Amino acid sequence: MYRIPDYQTNLSLRLSEVLDDIGVNERTLLKMRRSALLQETMQTITERSKCNKRLSVHMFGSSSEGTTTVGLHSDKDYLLCKHDNNVIMDYAEWEPGFTNLLMIQDNTTSPGYCLLQQLRDDVPLPAAHVLDKNHVRDASGRVLLKNTLFRDIMPAGGVYHGPSWARQGGPGIKDTDVVPAFHGNSWPYEARAWLDRQGIGNWPTADMKRFAVNNGCFVVPVASKVSQNPELEWRISTSQAERCLMFSLNITQIRCYVLMKMILKTFLHHAGESHITSFMCKTILLHCIENTHSNAWQENNLFTCLSCCLHVLYKCLQQENCPHFITPRNNLMAGQFSPEVKALLIERMFHLIQSEGQALLEVQIDDLGQRLQIKLNMLDPIAENIPSKKENCLIISGGLLRETARIITRCSSKMLLATIQNSPVTTVQNLLNVLENYQRCYREGSKLEQRASSLIAPQVCSTLGTVIASINIQTNNTIPPEALTWLSAGLNSDAASGRLKLASVLYSVGYMVETELTLGDIVRRYGFNNVEPICECYTFPVPTVLKRFQELAYHQNEKAVRSVCAFCVRFTPAEIHCVPQELQYEMFRSTQDDLLYRELTDYWMDWAVVDSLPYLYFLQYKTYRHLQRFDDQHQALAKLARTIETTRNLGHRETALNLLGQCWEQENQPNKALLCYMMSLKVRERNNAARFHICRLLANFI
Asked if residues 146 and 227 have their Cβ atoms less than 8 Å apart, the reply is: no
Does the domain at residues 1-24+249-386 carry the CATH identifier 1.10.1410.40?
yes
Q: Which of 254, 310, 344 is nearest to 69 (CA)?
A: 254
Distance CA 455, CA 553 (A): 16
Q: What is the CB-side half-sphere exposure of residue 620 using CA atoms within 13 A? A: 24
Residue 534's region, left for phi above 0, alpha for psi from -120 to 50, else beta, is beta
What pLDDT shows up at residue 573? 94
Q: Which of 664, 687, 554 is nearest to 28 (CA)?
A: 554
Distance CA 155, CA 157 (A): 6
What pLDDT shows up at residue 701? 76
Distance CA 555, CA 397 (A): 9
List the chain residues with pLDDT less than 70.
1-5, 51-52, 152-175, 270-274, 382-384
Asked if residues 103 and 182 have their Cβ atoms less than 8 Å apart, the reply is: no
Domain locations along the chain: 1-24+249-386, 75-246, 391-701
What single DSSP character describes residue 415? H
What pLDDT shows up at residue 160? 46
Give the relative orientation of helices 26-51 and 424-444 as an angle to the nearest 10 degrees. Answer: 140
Chain CA centroid to CA 423, Å: 32
CB atoms within 10 A of CB 344: 18
Cβ-defined contacts of 488-492 (< 8 Å, 24+): 489/457, 489/458, 489/461, 489/462, 489/465, 490/458, 490/459, 490/460, 490/461, 490/462, 490/463, 490/465, 491/458, 491/462, 492/458, 492/562
Beta bridge partners of 160: 165
What pLDDT shows up at residue 273? 54
Q: What is the per-residue DSSP string for 396-412?
A: HHHHHHHHHHHHHHHHH
Q: DSSP 3-state assignment of 93? A: helix
Spell out the residues 6+ positions from residue 87 whose beta carbon is closer than 8 angstroms to its own.
101, 103, 116, 182, 183, 184, 185, 219
Q: Which of 255, 619, 258, 568 is nearest to 416 (CA)?
A: 568
CA dihedral 559, 563, 569, 575 (to 10 degrees): 70
What pLDDT shows up at residue 285? 98
Distance CA 292, CA 329 (A): 22
What is the residue type of 669? Q
What pLDDT shows up at residue 650? 94
CA distances, 337 to each of 272, 285, 342, 480 (Å): 10, 21, 6, 68
Distance CA 60, CA 237 (A): 11
What pLDDT shows up at residue 383? 58
Asked if residues 118 and 143 have their Cβ atoms less than 8 Å apart, the reply is: yes
Asked if residues 113 and 215 have their Cβ atoms less than 8 Å apart, the reply is: no
pTM above 0.85, yes or no: yes
